[in-house]
Chains A and B, each alone.
Chain A
Amino acid sequence: MNIEAKPRSPELSVEDPFAAAFAEEDVRGRSLWVDAWHRLLKNRAAVVSGVIMAIMLLMVVVGPMVLPWEGDFTDWDNTSSPPSLETKHWFGTDAVGRDILVRTLEGGRISLLVGLVATLVSLVIGVTYGAIAGYYGGMTDRVMMRVVDIVYALPFMFFVILLMVVFGRNIVLIFVAIGAVNWLDMARIVRGQTLSLKNTEFIEAARACGVDHHSIIRRHIVPNLLGVVMVYVTLTIPQVILVESFLSFLGLGVQEPMSSWGALVNDGAQDMESAPWTLVFPAAFLTVTLYCFNYIGDGMRDALDPKDHL
């Protein structure tokens, strides 16, 4: 059977004799999510991580508003000073006397924002693209994957450096750059999974029933990809936060006085022996966050695995 030879089915219409079957699918789909949520709540590591992340989010949002220091205030009497209760710099200060605690919390806002937004961008593009390519196969797949290959073959660093160089430091650009690279991974993995899914019995069955491609992708392929995609998303958020830190390592990160955990960790790594507090605190926030995302992701993966309940 070659889909190229056959005109694409139009959108499912009301008259479609199989519409009833899909209504049923819908119900089952919803209960799957409710089930998943219950199972997620039973996963202790995921719940604890979720709580920590909620606290972290609260600290990052509220913290800089209630703390005694402004993020860009330079305390010339306390430059590179270690953590101390007396100076009210509980996490110490950096080389120009800025409070590390406030900087860490403000940096967290940027890091989390970059992580979430860029991942979302790559998720939406990548899953759609990969599922379509993998499902349709043939010429469509070949062309779509050729495009991916070409973009892939452009080294990420080269691409990002030039973006930063040509358009200057811009936080939106950082989202774009990172998202634009990460959807490729997502697309490839989704395509690979789709390739292995589409010849399975239940897809064949749906196709035999005359279900159109659009619906098969949406209702059968994508839900079945969720396990792998969830694992991948939880890998992507920390990855994106790390990519941002890598940009900071190259000196191409966010613009001062804005900061990010990556930028702070990079600054701290320069002085790891002479001023270890500038590394340890931001690194701890970064690491805890990355761990939490991973445990939450694990929990979601276990909870969403549809094969468990076939």
Chain B
Amino acid sequence: MTPSIPKLLLICGALSSLTACGDRESDFGRPLERRSQPVELVLLEDGRPDPEVLAVDQFIRRGNGEEPETLDPHLAEGVSAAHILRDLFEGLTTESSEGEINPGAALRWNISRDARTYTFYLRRDLTWSNGEPLNAEDFVFSLRRVLSPETASSTSRTLLPILNAREVLAGELPVEDLGIALLDEFTLQITLTGPTPYFLGLLASPVAFPVNRGNLEELGDQFSRSGQLVSNGAYILQEWVPRVRIDLRKNPEYREAGQILIDRVSYIPTEDRATEIKQFRAGELDWTYEVPNNQFKWLQRYYPEELVVSPWMGSYFFGFNLTQEPFIDNPSLRMALSLAVDREIITDKVTQFGEQPSFSLVPPGIDGYVPFAPEYADWTQEEREHESRRLYEQAGYSDEWPLRVEIRYNTGDNHKKIALAVASMWKQILGVNATLVNEEFRVFLQNRKQKLITQVFRVGWISDYNDPYSFLELFLTGNGQNDYGYSNSTFDALLEEVGLERVRARRERLMFEAERVLMSDHVIIPIYTYVTKRLVNPHLRGWQSNVMDTHPTRYMFKLKARENPSGEGASQ
């Protein structure tokens, strides 16, 4: 008669279970199938895992965030597409499981003395997944395709260090004038505009992957669909069901096919982080793209083995608009606001996932660079607050004349909490009257760029390549990314020198000096450096945490489960 009563009961059941899980040790929150323990990893003499310990079905499912916008490596922009493309393709260089740059399609290379010319010697036995041979000409074709105006590739900016790239993109020169030369069937020479120490790293990114000319010419813009894509990586595209899954299987033609253990990998897009984690807990995923904010303690308690947190190459900070009141020509006010922010509280209480409190722009761990640290980084928070109040008064503000300021951020749970925290600290310590302005992402970007109504705004910068320069260049006078209106000739001159410097130690010193100049001008309020955070099935091994957050499937393998699950899995 009333068939919805069972549903009601279920809802009540779920409600009661969730209220129960917060405060007592129980099986709630315990993943169901997943609590089977993997066997001990045994390595053979050559460093590879003993086949005895491997699971029979080497199949993994990776949660992958947004649906990739395309699998054309030259057009794909997002992180989720990049994860898949790293499995499908291989560039001249490639990444190890630790994220280091290794030889890929190129066996070795020479770099000229002026650090501007790279000569790549390709492996001679390379083939495409359709069996056709792959040689240097394919790379010439592909790099030209990226940089030709008709391709309209937005990621082509990654290859701008190549000689004449900008002119070719602007249609002023033909693609043949690019600094890319075919020396013979297996030798390729790339000339750059200036020394670019991170260039080998750029070549490992999807935009520098080769595409198969015949495949492209036959199918046009549909070549990257399932069952059609010809690739040269460890995996081939088997099936792409839009917004459901992208299935890859091992590519038997890959140069190291014999070494690869995972036979099939399925990338599952999930728009909602909360859903993704539930899918993981229900045993439907082996690897999540990320985990929800604000649940660190809970995850650490119930998923200690699965939770993986590691530093990432990104900085979270607030920027000042230096072209408008009240921050124009007012470094002491900017410094006061920066000192009043208690980074420890933000990372400990708000973000919680082990983000590092930050006092400078460049995150630590980038290619050996040690970021600049201002003296107040070593002060106690009380000392900082004391100095902050002094500077605030010096700038002419007081309880009677409080600063009124808008903190602008784009819609997002984490951004909201951090902005709230900062506003609250300013209010409690300085009496600043801060209003929060939450804007939709593209509106926010436009306002930031126009520099008319912004005052303080959030910025998050995840670097494209493993080099401090990618952070520093944002502050160059006239840079498209310079939403602060910052312009300091000393800083600009230092960065220009960086662009010409070939000696690594000197280059680092110049960048350090530039960062010092920038930080002394108090253009930004550094908050923390990013971490990546995800849940990983403990059976899945072979991957390593790294600052680039690249995790090709070809290094992974899956351990089999223990026959008699012991320990906590069985006892409870």
Contact residues of A with B, CB < 8 Å? 72-74, 76, 79-80, 82, 95-97, 164-165, 168-169, 251-252, 255-257, 267, 269-277, 280
Contact A251 B295 (CB under 8 A): no
Q: Are B443 and A165 in contact, CB atoms less than 8 angstroms apart?
A: yes
Stretch at the interface among B17-25, B187-195, B207-215: B17-25
Q: Do B22 and A273 touch across chains, with their CB atoms under 8 A apart?
A: yes
* CB nearest neighbor in A for B421: A96
Q: Which residues of A contact B439 (CB under 8 A)?
A: 168-169
Are A74 and B297 in contact, CB atoms less than 8 angstroms apart?
Answer: no
Determine if B349 and A97 form an interchain contact, defined as CB atoms under 8 angstroms apart: yes
Contact of B413 among A80, A270, A276, A277 (CB under 8 A): A270
What are 14 residue pairs bridging A and B, where the CB atoms are less than 8 Å apart in the complex? A76-B349, A80-B294, A95-B350, A95-B417, A96-B420, A96-B424, A97-B349, A168-B439, A168-B443, A256-B436, A273-B29, A274-B295, A275-B294, A276-B21
A96 surroundings in chain B (CB, below 8 A)? 349-350, 417, 420-421, 424
Bitwise, B258-293 to A at CB < 8 A (1) or not (0) is 000000000000000010000000000000000010
Contact check, B22 vs A274: say whether CB atoms are below 8 A apart.
Answer: yes
Contact A252 B440 (CB under 8 A): yes
Residues in A neighbouring B443, C-beta threshold 8 A: 165, 168
Whether B294 contacts A257 by the Cβ 8 Å rule is: no
Q: How large is the interface on B (under 10, 10 to 19, 20 to 34, 35 or more residues)?
A: 20 to 34
| 3 residue pairs, one from A and one from B, having the closest CB atoms | A274-B298, A251-B411, A74-B424
Task: Looking at the assembled complex, report how far the CB atom of B397 sits from the nearest CB atom of chain A, in whole angstroms.
Answer: 20
A167's nearest neighbour on chain B, judged by CB, is B443
In addition to A165-B443, A257-B436, 8 A-B residue pairs with Cβ atoms within 8 Å of each other are: A82-B22, A96-B350, A96-B421, A168-B443, A169-B438, A251-B412, A256-B416, A273-B22
Question: Which residues of B lie under 8 Å from residue A97 when comparing CB positions?
Answer: 349
Give CA–CA (A69, B93) in the complex, Å.
58
- Are A256 and B298 interface neighbours, CB within 8 A? no
Number of A-B pairs whose CB atoms are under 8 Å? Answer: 80
Chain A residues with CB below 8 A from B345, complex form: 76
Report B's interface with A, CB cutoff 8 A: 15, 18-19, 21-23, 29, 274, 292, 294-295, 297-298, 345, 349-350, 411-413, 416-417, 419-421, 424, 436-440, 442-443
Q: Which residues of chain A come closer than 8 Å to B419, judged between CB atoms?
A: 256
A275 nearest CB across to chain B (Å): 7
Q: Contacts of A272 on B, CB cut-off 8 Å?
A: 18
CA distance in complex: A115, B438 (Å):
23
A74 and B420 in contact, given A95-B294, A252-B411 (Cβ under 8 angstroms): yes
Contact with A271, one of B295, B411, B416, B420 (Cβ below 8 angstroms): B295
Asked if A82 and B23 sit within 8 Å, CB to CB, the answer is: yes
Measured between alpha carbons, how far is A272 from B440 in the docked complex, in Å?
A: 26
Given known pairs A97-B349, A251-B411, the reply for A270 and B292 (CB within 8 Å) is: yes
Q: How far is the CA of A73 from the CA of B423 in the complex (A)?
A: 10
CB of B412 within 8 A of CB of A276, answer no
User: Are A79 and B295 also in contact (CB < 8 A) when A169-B438, A270-B413 are?
Assistant: no
On whether the beta carbons of B349 and A276 are closer than 8 Å, the reply is no
Is B437 touching A255 in the complex (CB atoms < 8 A)? Answer: yes
Given known contacts A273-B22, A280-B19, A74 and B421 CB-to-CB distance under 8 angstroms = yes
A310 to B258, CA, bound (A): 88
Q: How far is the CB of A177 from chain B (nearest CB, A)?
A: 14
CB-CB < 8 A to B349: which residues of A? 76, 79, 95-97
> When chains A and B are docked, how far (Å) is the Cα of A168 from the Cα of B413?
18
A73 engages B420 (CB within 8 Å)? no
Q: How far is the CB of A141 from chain B (nearest CB, A)?
A: 38
B440 cross-chain contacts in A, Cβ below 8 A: 164-165, 251-252
Closest residue of chain B to A78 (Cβ to Cβ) is B349
Whether A271 and B294, one on each chain, are in contact in the complex, defined by CB atoms closer than 8 angstroms, is: yes
What's the Cα separation between A158 and B341 when bound, in Å? Answer: 38
Q: Are B18 and A276 in contact (CB under 8 A)?
A: yes
In the assembled complex, which residues on chain B have CB atoms less than 8 Å from the CB atom of A168?
437, 439, 443
